[in-house]
Amino acid sequence: MSWKEQYKSLLLFLCFFLFIYFMPIESKDFKGAIIDGFKLIHCYAREHVILCLIPAFFIAGVIAVFISQTSIIKYFGTKAKKWKAYLIASVSGTILAVCSCTVLPLFSSIYKRGAGLGPAIAFLYSGPAINILAIILTARVLGFELGVARIVGAITFSLVIGLIMGFIYHDDEEKQISESKLALEEGEGIRPFWQTSIHFFILIGILVFVNWNKPANESTGFWYFIYKNKWFITSIFGIGFAISMIYIIKVKKIFVILGTFVVIISATLFSDPTIPFIIGITATSITLAFSNEESKLWLLETWEFAKQIMPLLGIGILLSGFLLGSSGNGEGIIPKEWIFSLVGQNSLLSNFFASIVGAFMYFATLTEIPIVQGLIKNGMGKGPALALLLAGPALSLPSMIVIKSVIGFKKTTTYVFLVIIMATLTGFAYGLLF
Does the predicted TM-score (pTM) go above 0.85?
no
Give residue-wise pLDDT tens across range 363-384: 765 667 767 776 776 678 889 9
Number of domains observed in the structure of the chain: 1
**Average pLDDT in the 313-332 region?**
71
- Dist CA 177 CA 174 (whole Å): 5
Percent of the chain with pLDDT over 70: 82
Whether residue 187 is predicted with pLDDT greater than 50 in this model: the reply is no
Give residue-wise pLDDT tens across range 339-365: 667 877 788 999 999 999 888 887 765
In a domain, 68, yes or no: yes
| Arithmetic mean of pLDDT over the chain | 81
Q: Which tops the pLDDT comparison, 257 or 362?
A: 257
Cβ-Cβ contacts under 8 Å for 372 (sequence gap 6 or more)? 142, 380, 385, 388, 389
Report which DSSP code applies to 219. S
Please state whether 327 falls in left (phi above 0), alpha (psi between -120 and 50) or beta: left
In a domain, 344, yes or no: yes
Kindly report the backbone phi and psi dihedral angles of residue 369, in degrees, each rounded to the nearest multiple of 5, phi listed first.
-70, -55
**How far is C-alpha 388 from the geometric centre of its chain's CA atoms?**
16
Give residue-wise pLDDT tens across range 293-320: 999 999 998 998 788 778 877 887 787 7
In a domain, 261, yes or no: no
- pLDDT computed for residue 311 by the predictor: 82
Q: With beta carbons less than 8 A apart as the criterion, state whether 358 and 320 touch.
A: no
Mean pLDDT comparison of 114-118, 340-344, 423-427, highest-scoring range: 423-427
Whether residue 217 is predicted with pLDDT greater than 70 in this model: the reply is no
Q: With beta carbons less than 8 A apart as the criterion, state whether 102 and 52 touch.
A: yes
In a domain, 28, yes or no: no
In a domain, 171, yes or no: yes
The closest of 23, 28, 109, 29 to 64, measured between CA atoms, is: 109
Domain encompassing residue 400: 34-250+292-433
In a domain, 88, yes or no: yes
The closest of 416, 433, 342 to 382, measured between CA atoms, is: 433
Q: With beta carbons less than 8 A apart as the criterion, state whether 234 and 210 touch.
A: yes
**Average pLDDT in the 203-217 region?**
81
Q: With beta carbons less than 8 A apart as the criterion, state whether 157 and 129 touch.
A: yes
In a domain, 15, yes or no: no
- pLDDT computed for residue 175 by the predictor: 59
Q: Which tops the pLDDT comparison, 367 or 321?
A: 321
Mean pLDDT comparison of 21-30, 178-187, 196-205, 322-331, highest-scoring range: 196-205
Q: Categorize the per-residue pLDDT at 243 as very low, low, confident or very high, splitting at 50, 70 and 90.
A: very high
In a domain, 182, yes or no: yes
Cβ-Cβ contacts under 8 Å for 353 (sequence gap 6 or more)? 339, 342, 343, 384
- Dist CA 39 CA 45 (whole Å): 10
- pLDDT computed for residue 351 by the predictor: 93
- pLDDT computed for residue 135 by the predictor: 73
Question: What string of H, E and C letters represents the secondary structure of 159-197?
Answer: HHHHHHHHHHCHHHHHHHHHHHCHHHCCCCCCCCHHHHH
